[in-house]
Structure 1
Amino acid sequence: MVADLIAEHCGDAQTLCDLGCGDGSLLVALRGLPLTTWGYDAGAQNVRVALAAGLDVSRCDFLTEPVELGDIVVMSEVLEHLVDPHSFLAGMAATKLVASSPSSETGDWHYRHHAWAWDEAGYRALLEGAGWAVVEQRTCYGGINVHGGRHGEQHFQAIIAERPQ
């Protein structure tokens, strides 16, 4: 879903930065696009896997360390982990953003490392409230998941947004 949004909306973008890129799986999926890509992740093992796959990935805490942002910035399954996602999004010096997160988690049913849970309207409001104009929002089914010993249907959402000119 995230790769599809990027492919459909990359337009004249030439570069893409993946913040919280994990093992680089999304960057691998984007190899066929005419984009120069790179990523940052705080996990040493994730970075080792990405480098072994031939990706341009650096170990970095992008919340506290300077990073180079591309024409498109991707934050896939990242915002829900941040203490203050609104301030981060509001202060990010980027013009195009693709962000994704779960959309079916609640205060009672969520991954234990998630500080936030948004439904579709709430996620859109988060980005718009931080100064982004939503271009498109999509959701998809993510299978059955277990949080806190309870089973439930997981869904994910992705938004592509731009800074208003």
Structure 2
Amino acid sequence: MNLRPDLRQIYDWVPADSRVLDLGCGDGTLLAALKQKRVTGYGVDFDVNNVIASVGNDVNVIQADLEEGLMEFGDDAFDTIVLSQTIQAMKNTEAILIDMLRVAHEAIVTFPNFGYWQNRWQIFRGHMPVSETIPYQWYDTPNIHWCMLGDFEALCEKNRIRIAERKVMDGEKEIHFLPNLRGSLAFYRIARDRS
């Protein structure tokens, strides 16, 4: 199995024999790989080309706009819900996080870390960042809500969302020292706070 490093981390966090909903599933690569773990999965994507590609990868997929919420899914319908490198493009970030944890027991959220040193350096030089995790120019980006680790964690605390695990990566390397400065991509496993 040859997954991108970010999808490999998500793959490793998803339990075998579970039910997974992948929001913004792209071409369905993650869900196709998760079949090796006997995962029952469904994808959601707005882009018709991604929906066609997912079907081509033998993935069950629904074409829908995540901005309209997840009302078509019942409470606790899934074990895990994935939102990979999509949250920064959502208009109503807070609402989607809350709705995700209604639909699934836990969520995996990944996003480009705007605090990454290379992003800061480009800003210092007078330009919006463009990188592997932020591949768009400022004028054609779908991204509207950039955040750093502390921003996401504060949003979770505000909404009583428990952070079960966090990893910060730069390419294939996990970053432990100064993760907000040295990590380009953040990974969070989150769940409802039961207290």
Which TM bucket (shorter chain)?
0.7 to 0.9
Residue 126 of structure 1 deviates from its aligned partner by 2.3
For 1:150, the equivalent position in structure 2 comes to: none
TM-fit CA distance, 1:113: 1.7
Instruction: Please point out which of 9, 14, 21 is paired with 1:4.
Output: 9
- Structure 2 equivalent of residue 149 of structure 1: none
Letter in 2 for 1:50: S
The one of the two structures with greater contact order (alpha-carbon pairs below 8 A, sep at least 6) is 1
For 1:2 and 1:127, how far apart are their aligned partners in 2?
Answer: 22
Structure 2 runs not aligned, ≥5 long: 1-5, 173-181
Which residue among 13, 16, 20 is the counterpart of 1:16?
20
Q: How does 1:95-110 map to 2 (within 5 A)?
A: 95-104=105-114, 108-109=128-129
Partner residue of 2:177?
none
TM-score under structure 1 length normalisation: 0.80
Gaps of 5+ in 1: 144-152
The RMSD of aligned alpha carbons is: 2.6
Paired residues, number: 155
Task: Give 2:72's aligned residue.
Answer: 67
Q: Secondary structure at the match of 1:30?
A: helix
Contact 1:136 1:160 in 2 (8 A): yes
Q: Please state if 1:52 is matched with 2:56.
A: yes
* One of 15, 33, 38 as aligned partner of 2:37: 33
Contact 1:132 1:161 in 2 (8 A): yes
Larger radius of gyration: 2
- Helix, strand or coil: the match of 1:139? strand
| Residue type of the alignment partner of 1:161 | I
Kindly indicate whether the alpha-carbon contact (under 8 Å) linking 1:19 and 1:74 is maintained by their aligned counterparts in 2.
Answer: yes
Cα distance in structure 2, aligned partners of 1:5 and 1:164: 21
Percent identity over the alignment is: 21
Higher helix share: 2
